[in-house]
Structure 1
Amino acid sequence: MNETGLSEEKIRNILNDSKSQDLKYERVLSSMCTYPHRVAVEAHMQFIESNMGDFGLFKGTSNLEKEVLSMLSNLLHHPGASGYMTTGGTESNIQAIRSMRNLFIQKSKCEKPNLVVPDSAHFSFDKVSDILDVELRKASLEDDLKVSIDSVKSLIDENTIGLVAIAGSTEFGQVDPIARLSEIALENNIFLHIDAAFGGFVLPFLEMSCEFDFILPGVTSIAIDPHKMGMSTIPSGVLLFRTNEHLESLKAETPYLTVSTQYTLTGTRSGAAVAATYAVMSFLGKEGYREKVSGCMELTHYLMDRLAGINVYPLLKPVMNVVALKVSKPDLVRSRLAKEFNWQVSITQKPHGLRLVIMPHVTFEMIDSFVKDLEKVLQTI
């Protein structure tokens, strides 16, 4: 820090230069985030100083959070579900499993609790294991890259606190057989957390119905991220519990604040993200989200048709707007696309392929340009 401050003009120049070095979403086909909706941005700026860590000072913002939770509770088929807004899927997953662990330990003597997750689970669950000292047991996948029910069953024992299912896996966009996992959770009297961080704002708005939420009686918690397909600002996540007992298991006393207890992982929380999420969900409504998802799926199908024209095909049929492609030497292809054409794509690990996410910022022209550049790269490999 300098002894004397810089001028506003100098700071603006530095910021503009730094911003110019960021990759624009128009060249990004790897991210599960996108440009936030303009009404979300406006609301975010209006509430920029609101701190939900001491929400007694910001009662209006707190009421907006309650409205967000109500809207999502209804969308996910359990009006009145308990929860709060998080920074995103990682925090939601940590808190969901922390609740599982706390409630399980209260009711059962257990030296080393374990958690059964699909091998396709997000890396945040490795963080969960480390932070909470919970053994992570990874169930194998079927050929369709959904978790194997037999593998899940084989990993459950008396120290298993719960199961995790994925509704829109990060690599492939696949949805685990959640209805069957719900039955298994009930049969074994254990919890079932759904990581719908991405799929939560896609699956309810697809033409094809998919049961993944509280409509299934074994589901005890859900993570869903408005800052992904919900088009809110970052950081906007939501964690919902079927019963208030789960939320209460996370309670901490906060004697020096205007409220006496917190249930959150972070202390300070963004009220701006709360307002942004309320604004965009209220503005778009179900009809608006159906249009957004329909548009992304139309582009996904268009991409598949264009790729077939250059003999590139998906590793499996896309369920949502996440596509994994079968290409030779995907690491090299990814590197060449970035270096020669400034495209940002990602790769899948098992099986190895090229991964694309078709978000609302993607256009037909963007896909045409990408396919043309991909063809050039593949012709030289």
Structure 2
Amino acid sequence: MNEKGLEREEIISVLNKSKSEDLKYNRVLSSMCTYPHEIAIHAHMQFMESNMGDFGLFRGTYDLEVSVLRSLGELLHHPEVSGYMTTGGTESNIQAIRSMRNIFQRKDKCHKPNLVVPDSAHFSFDKVSDILDIELRKATLDKDLKVSIDSVRSLIDDNTIGMVAIAGSTEFGQVDQIDILSDIALENNIFLHVDAAFGGYVLPFLEEQHDFDFKLPGVTSIAIDPHKMGLSTIPAGVLLFRDPGQLESLRADTPYLTVSTQYTLTGTRSGAAVAATYAVMNFLGKEGYRKIVADCMEATYYLLDRLAEIGIYPLIEPVMNVVALDIPKADLIRSTLAKDFNWQVSITQNPHGLRLVIMPHVTIEMIDSFVQDLRTVLETI
């Protein structure tokens, strides 16, 4: 920090230069985030100073959060849901499993708890294991890249506190057989957390219906991210609990604030993200989200048709707007696309392939340009 501050114009110049060096979304086919909706940006700016860590000072913003939770609870078939807005899927996943662990420990269990997750689970669950000192047991996937039910059953024992199911896996966009996992959770009296950080704003608006939410009685918590397909601003996640006791297990006393307790992982929380989420959800409504999802799926199928013209096919038929391609030398192709054409794509690990996410910023023109560049790369490697 300088002794004397810089002129405003100099700061703006530095900011503009830094912004210009960021990659624009029109070359990004790997991200599960996109440009936020205009009304979300407006709301975010209006509520920049609101701190939900001490929401007694910001009761209006708190009321917006309550409204967001109620709306998502209704969407996910449990209007009486408990929870709060987080920074995103990672925090939501940590807190969901922390709640499981806290309740497990109160039952006087003396052995180290374990958690059963799919091999396709987000890397945040590895963080969960490290932070909470929970053994992570990874179940294998079946031929459709869903978690193997037999593998899950084989990993459950007396110290299993819960399971994780994925509704829109990060790599493949696949949805586990959550109806069966719900039954297993009830049979074993354990928790079932659904990571729907991406799929939560997609699955309810698809023509084909998928059972993944609180409609299933064994589902005890859900993570869903408004800053992905919800088109809110970053950071905006939501953690939802079926039972208020799960949220209560996260309670911490806060005697010096205007509110006496917190249930959150972070202290300071963004009221701006709360307002942005409220604004965009109420502006778009279900009808608006159905159109956004339909447009993304139309672009996804168009991409598949164009890729078929050059002999490239998906590892699985896409469930949502995530495409994993069965393509050799995926690492080399990815790096060449980035170096020679500035395209940002990603790879899947097991099975190995190229991964594309068809977000609302992805246009037909982008797809045509990408396929042409991919064809060129394939012809030269």
TM-score interval, smaller chain: over 0.9
| Structure 1: 5+ residue stretches without partners | none
Note the alpha carbon deviations across 1:184-203, whole angstroms, 9 max, x for none. Answer: 00000000000000000000
* Of 351-360 and 109-118, the range deviating more from structure 2: 109-118
For 1:327 and 1:177, locate their aligned partners in 2 and report how far apart those are by CA, in whole Å. 27
Give the aligned partner of residue 364 of structure 1: 364
Give the aligned partner of residue 147 of structure 2: 147
**Partner letter of residue 229 of structure 1?**
M
Give the aligned partner of residue 320 of structure 2: 320
SS in 2 for 1:223: strand
**Partner letter of residue 46 of structure 2?**
Q
Give the aligned partner of residue 33 of structure 1: 33
1:249: how far off? 0.2
1:247: how far off? 0.3
**Partner letter of residue 351 of structure 1?**
P
Note the alpha carbon deviations across 1:225-259, whole angstroms, 9 max, x for none. Answer: 00000000000000000010000000000000000
Note if 1:4 corresponds to 2:12: no
1:267: how far off? 0.1
Note the alpha carbon deviations across 1:56-82, whole angstroms, 9 max, x for none. Answer: 000000000000000000000000100
Give the aligned partner of residue 228 of structure 1: 228
Give the aligned partner of residue 82 of structure 1: 82
Alignment of 1:102-251 (within 5 A): 102-251=102-251
**Partner letter of residue 280 of structure 1?**
V
**Partner letter of residue 53 of structure 1?**
G
SS in 2 for 1:34: coil
SS in 2 for 1:107: coil
1:46: how far off? 0.1
1:262: how far off? 0.1
Note if 1:279 corresponds to 2:279: yes
1:109: how far off? 1.6
Q: CA RMSD in A?
A: 0.5
For 1:20 and 1:45, locate their aligned partners in 2 and report how far apart those are by CA, in whole Å. 21
**Partner letter of residue 194 of structure 1?**
V
1:110: how far off? 2.9
For 1:131 and 1:29, locate their aligned partners in 2 and report how far apart those are by CA, in whole Å. 32
Note if 1:91 corresponds to 2:91: yes
Give the aligned partner of residue 252 of structure 2: 252
**Partner letter of residue 63 of structure 1?**
D
SS in 1 for 2:216: coil
**Partner letter of residue 223 of structure 2?**
A
1:335: how far off? 0.4
Could you list the structure 1 runs, at least 4 aligned residues long, displaced by more than 2 angstroms after superposition.
none
For 1:109 and 1:305, locate their aligned partners in 2 and report how far apart those are by CA, in whole Å. 54
Note the alpha carbon deviations across 1:353-373, whole angstroms, 9 max, x for none. Answer: 000000000000000000000
SS in 1 for 2:106: helix
Identity %: 78
For 1:60 and 1:353, locate their aligned partners in 2 and report how far apart those are by CA, in whole Å. 47
**Partner letter of residue 271 of structure 1?**
G
Name the TM-score, length of structure 2 as normaliser: 1.00
For 2:316 and 2:135, locate their aligned partners in 1 and report how far apart those are by CA, in whole Å. 31
For 2:319 and 2:75, locate their aligned partners in 1 and report how far apart those are by CA, in whole Å. 20
1:284: how far off? 0.3
Note if 1:330 corresponds to 2:330: yes
1:327: how far off? 1.4
Note the alpha carbon deviations across 1:107-161, whole angstroms, 9 max, x for none. Answer: 2423200000000000000000000000000000001100000000000000000
Give the aligned partner of residue 57 of structure 1: 57
For 2:153 and 2:354, locate their aligned partners in 1 and report how far apart those are by CA, in whole Å. 31
**Partner letter of residue 286 of structure 1?**
K
Note if 1:379 corresponds to 2:379: yes
Name the TM-score, length of structure 1 as normaliser: 1.00
**Partner letter of residue 38 of structure 1?**
E
For 1:109 and 1:172, locate their aligned partners in 2 and report how far apart those are by CA, in whole Å. 36
SS in 2 for 1:267: coil
